[in-house]
A and B are shown apart, each in its own frame.
Chain A
Amino acid sequence: MTLSSIIWTVVKILIVVGFIVNLSAILTWMERRQSAMMQDRVGPNRAEITVFGYKIRLFGLLYPIADAVKMFTKEDFIPPNADKVLHSLAPMLSLFPPLVVLGVVPFTDTLCLDNLHEVVQKNGVVASNWHFFSSWIEQPSCSLPGAKNFIDGCCVIGCQTAGVVHQPWAEHFGTCPANVAPGMIGAIHMQVIDFNPGVLYVFALAGMGIVGASIAGWSSDNKFSLMGGLRAASQLVSYEVAMGLSIVGAIMVYGTIRLDEMTRWQGDHVWGVFVQPLAFILFLTAAIAETKRAPFDLPEGESEIVAGYLVEYSGMKFGMFYMGEFIEIATSSALLVAIFLGGYNMPFLHRDGITIAVGDAVVWKQHIPHILVILMQAGAFFGKIFVLCWFQMFVRWTLPRFRYDQLMKLGWRMLLPAALANIFLTGVILIAFDRTGTEFQERMGVVGDFVNLATAIAITFVQLWIVIGFFGSTQPAIRRNAFNKRARSAGEIVEKALAS
């Protein structure tokens, strides 16, 4: 542990915590405005501050600040018969785990400090000094002896370029030219904690979330709280199982439990969601259940048990639960991204730049300096988290709540068997895949490339669609007096109702 590694660790912690805490604040705004847009209303937009006489509203982005001020200045109420120590401990216990889970999630590829301006390949070779016009389908020489062809920054003889193949993780080091071994000065692993348990650590800490909720429920001295705490405990324990088992299939495919290795595998082949679609859905379901939000918000169950374990909390203690909930959304999204949605990888964005290639046919290649690649990867990672949070909001505002026994049935009778079946199927397919010849595996590699191509096209299309739809098109979004024009079709509805 040298001084520089400590400094870098602190920097990484600041990046992750800063991002997540700010994201959770933005998520509160997003939840309010997004649900408003879904529900045909405007949403909160009136919080304003006056700076030098200018009134600034920022579309309601100031609400999180107003919330914070309100929560800090509110009375911190502890019920007279409550267990005061546990009552105060519970919010911390529920805020802390989701925050530290993110320690093992890599947010970019290994950063080579010495080669920021150069093009660094996957195997740690500097391809060339980067010039803007120098790199049209340039084939750098392969430095390993015996290599025939050079694709994707990787000598063909050394590593499999594509294909759904289980590979030893050691080949996928994001090595740096200066020093081949990772973790030394000059090669910085962009995850806070660089250690082997990976996913196990995630589950160990995610399980801690139960403790906060159930302690809060028990210590509040309120029957509604107690029911909320019990519901939280049983719900989280049940879904922890489904969550853990759903990921086993993915672990089998990736051959590792380290999240950075998983991400690299997805960069080399295809995103995990395409090889483990069932596991993705199961994990998403379980992750939403872990965040205790609709349709799984039974522990809080507004209309049933008032606010569940939150009943007796006020002020910043409530604020911590509230923040923990939003951080948990961001955390679960980050895990989903790292395990199933390619982490920081975008299709065809490699360590040395953009290479659009299907099989051996390289369509287009553009070298990009290392620092830009790292920034693009970070952007991709945080962008994916954002999109996933956005999607979770849709789920939350579209679906009604489960009932307690239905929730348990879903967890134990649907998700758990499905996860087990997924493990079984994955195992069978993996064995069968290993028995097939290299030719078939290479063909699968080409299929993987096509999937990547489709993903890239889909992402581009959606972005274009949003940009053009929002700003380009001249057709107004909502026809004015639309109703009168739609009256004719509505008249048909009345006719239908009359006929029924």
Chain B
Amino acid sequence: MPQPLVGSFPYDKVKGTAVPKPTRTASEQGYVSEITKGIAVTMTHFFKNTRAMVRGERPDPVVDPMSEGITTLEYPDQKRPYPERFRGVHRLTHRDDGSPRCVACLCCSTACPAQCIYIEAGEYGGKDKRHGYERYPVKFVIDELRCIFCGYCVEACPCDAIRMDTGVHPVPYDSRDQFIYGKNMLLAMASQAGKQKHENPRAEPPDADYGPIERLAGHH
């Protein structure tokens, strides 16, 4: 049984404005006139769009997505560039000498809610400038199928080594193993502007503007 309204809802505090009921005038009840008007509305769209298509005057959906008329993209033929903040497929940034900027700190794989990043860290060899200074990823694997494109890895990276600004959405493949991007694949990706280098201002040993600080070999 419905009971009277109880509880602490602030019914009196807010006064709502009632929405209108259907008018149901005689012409509306008779179907024909209102249906004719409706068909006139759709016909306007039809003639406008057909005319634009026939005359080839259709607004270009790539540059003018907000015009009236047809704005659908014919996808593989036409592509709209993704916005600047779009989170696409990952890339690993390069240093000056082309080696990965990543230092295998495992921040991204920790921050990843989907746990799709696998990193195997390794030490640089004894002759390397970076020996004893930092590590590098022996393996850097992202499973793009598990990835949810939340961007947490980019946020978690302390040295601008991983980015999602490629402007490439996850590409459909035939089999699952193709979705597993290895280190070389990730390093080969470039940003929408074609850049591959990192933008971390801090210079590290192999960088061109790395300062004179030398660390003792074997210092860990």
- A interface residues, Cβ below 8 angstroms from B: 34, 37-42, 45, 281, 394-395, 397-399, 469-471, 476-483, 486
Question: Are B35 and A394 interface neighbours, CB within 8 A?
Answer: no
C-alpha spacing A477/B47, complex, angstroms: 9
How distant is A479 from chain B, measured CB to nearest CB, in Å? 8
Question: Are B55 and A477 interface neighbours, CB within 8 A?
Answer: yes
Q: Which residues of A contact B6 (CB under 8 A)?
A: none
Is residue B43 within 8 Å, beta carbon to beta carbon, of the partner chain? yes
Is residue B58 within 8 Å, beta carbon to beta carbon, of the partner chain? yes
Is residue B23 within 8 Å, beta carbon to beta carbon, of the partner chain? no
Known: A37-B53, A399-B38, A482-B68. A394 touches B43 (CB 8 A): yes
C-alpha spacing A37/B48, complex, angstroms: 8
- The 9 A-B residue pairs whose C-beta atoms are closest, nearest first, are A477-B52, A477-B51, A478-B69, A37-B49, A38-B42, A41-B72, A476-B57, A478-B52, A37-B46
Q: Which residues of B contact A38 (CB under 8 A)?
A: 42-43, 45-46, 49
Question: Are A399 and B72 interface neighbours, CB within 8 A?
Answer: no
Q: Which residues of A contact B150 (CB under 8 A)?
A: none
Closest residue to B45 on the A side, CB-wise? A38
24 A-B pairs within 8 Å (CB atoms) are namely A37-B49, A37-B50, A37-B53, A37-B70, A38-B46, A41-B70, A394-B42, A394-B43, A398-B38, A399-B35, A399-B38, A470-B51, A470-B54, A476-B52, A477-B48, A477-B55, A477-B69, A478-B58, A479-B68, A480-B59, A482-B59, A482-B68, A482-B69, A483-B67
How distant is A277 from chain B, measured CB to nearest CB, in Å? 11
C-alpha spacing A28/B45, complex, angstroms: 20
> Given contacts A397-B42, A481-B64, could you give 12 more A-B pairs where the C-beta distance is less than 8 Å?
A37-B45, A37-B50, A39-B45, A42-B70, A394-B42, A398-B42, A470-B55, A477-B52, A477-B69, A478-B48, A478-B57, A479-B67
Known: A399-B35, A470-B54. A40 touches B70 (CB 8 A): yes
Q: Which residues of B contact A42 (CB under 8 A)?
A: 53, 70, 72, 74
Known: A481-B64, A481-B67, A482-B67. A398 touches B57 (CB 8 A): no
How distant is A288 from chain B, measured CB to nearest CB, in Å? 11
| Contacts of B30-89 to chain A: CB distance below 8 A | 32, 35, 38-39, 41-43, 45-55, 57-59, 64, 66-72, 74
How distant is A386 from chain B, measured CB to nearest CB, in Å? 15
| Interface size class of chain B, counting residues whose CB lies under 8 Å from the partner chain | 20 to 34
Question: Are B51 and A480 interface neighbours, CB within 8 A?
Answer: no
C-alpha spacing A394/B38, complex, angstroms: 10
Closest residue to B58 on the A side, CB-wise? A478
Q: Which residues of B contact A397 (CB under 8 A)?
A: 42
Question: Are B39 and A398 interface neighbours, CB within 8 A?
Answer: yes
Q: Which residues of A contact B49 (CB under 8 A)?
A: 37-38, 40, 477-478
Closest residue to A281 on the B side, CB-wise? B32
Closest residue to B35 on the A side, CB-wise? A399
Q: Which residues of B contact A45 (CB under 8 A)?
A: 74
| Contacts of B130-173 to chain A: CB distance below 8 A | none
Closest residue to A42 on the B side, CB-wise? B72
How distant is B174 from chain A, measured CB to nearest CB, in Å? 21
Q: Which residues of A contact B59 (CB under 8 A)?
A: 478, 480-482
Known: A34-B46, A39-B45, A40-B45. A478 touches B35 (CB 8 A): no
Closest residue to B74 on the A side, CB-wise? A42
Q: Which residues of B contact A395 (CB under 8 A)?
A: 35, 39
How distant is B34 from chain A, measured CB to nearest CB, in Å? 10
Q: Which residues of B contact A469 (CB under 8 A)?
A: 47, 51
C-alpha spacing A483/B49, complex, angstroms: 16
C-alpha spacing A442/B88, complex, angstroms: 79
C-alpha spacing A221/B41, complex, angstroms: 42
Q: Which residues of A contact B68 (CB under 8 A)?
A: 478-479, 482-483, 486
C-alpha spacing A395/B51, complex, angstroms: 21
Q: Which residues of A contact B42 (CB under 8 A)?
A: 38, 394, 397-398
Q: Which residues of A contact B38 (CB under 8 A)?
A: 398-399
C-alpha spacing A398/B58, complex, angstroms: 23
Q: Which residues of B contact A40 (CB under 8 A)?
A: 45, 49, 69-72
C-alpha spacing A3/B52, complex, angstroms: 53
Q: Which residues of A contact B70 (CB under 8 A)?
A: 37, 40-42
Closest residue to A469 on the B side, CB-wise? B51
How distant is B5 from chain A, measured CB to nearest CB, in Å? 28
C-alpha spacing A443/B46, complex, angstroms: 41
Q: Which residues of A contact B64 (CB under 8 A)?
A: 480-481
Known: A39-B45, A470-B51. A478 touches B39 (CB 8 A): no
Q: Which residues of B contact A478 (CB under 8 A)?
A: 48-49, 52, 57-59, 67-69
How distant is B50 from chain A, measured CB to nearest CB, in Å? 5
C-alpha spacing A478/B66, complex, angstroms: 12
Closest residue to A414 on the B side, CB-wise? B31
Q: For A39, A399, A476, A478, which residue has the most chain B Cβ atoms within 10 angstroms?
A: A478
Question: Are B57 and A477 interface neighbours, CB within 8 A?
Answer: yes
C-alpha spacing A482/B65, complex, angstroms: 11
How distant is B192 from chain A, measured CB to nearest CB, in Å? 24
Q: For B49, B55, B57, which residue has the most chain A Cβ atoms within 10 angstroms?
A: B49
Contacting residue for A483 out of B58, B66, B72, B74, CB 8 A: B66
C-alpha spacing A436/B47, complex, angstroms: 47
C-alpha spacing A154/B38, complex, angstroms: 45
C-alpha spacing A481/B60, complex, angstroms: 10
Closest residue to A466 on the B side, CB-wise? B47
How distant is A235 from chain B, measured CB to nearest CB, in Å? 17
Q: Which residues of A contact B48 (CB under 8 A)?
A: 477-478
Q: Which residues of A contact B35 (CB under 8 A)?
A: 395, 398-399
How distant is B200 from chain A, measured CB to nearest CB, in Å? 40
C-alpha spacing A34/B49, complex, angstroms: 10
How distant is B19 from chain A, measured CB to nearest CB, in Å? 11
Q: Which residues of B contact A480 (CB under 8 A)?
A: 59, 64, 67
Q: For B46, B57, B69, which residue has the most chain A Cβ atoms within 10 angstroms?
A: B46
How distant is B36 from chain A, measured CB to nearest CB, in Å? 10
C-alpha spacing A41/B73, complex, angstroms: 9
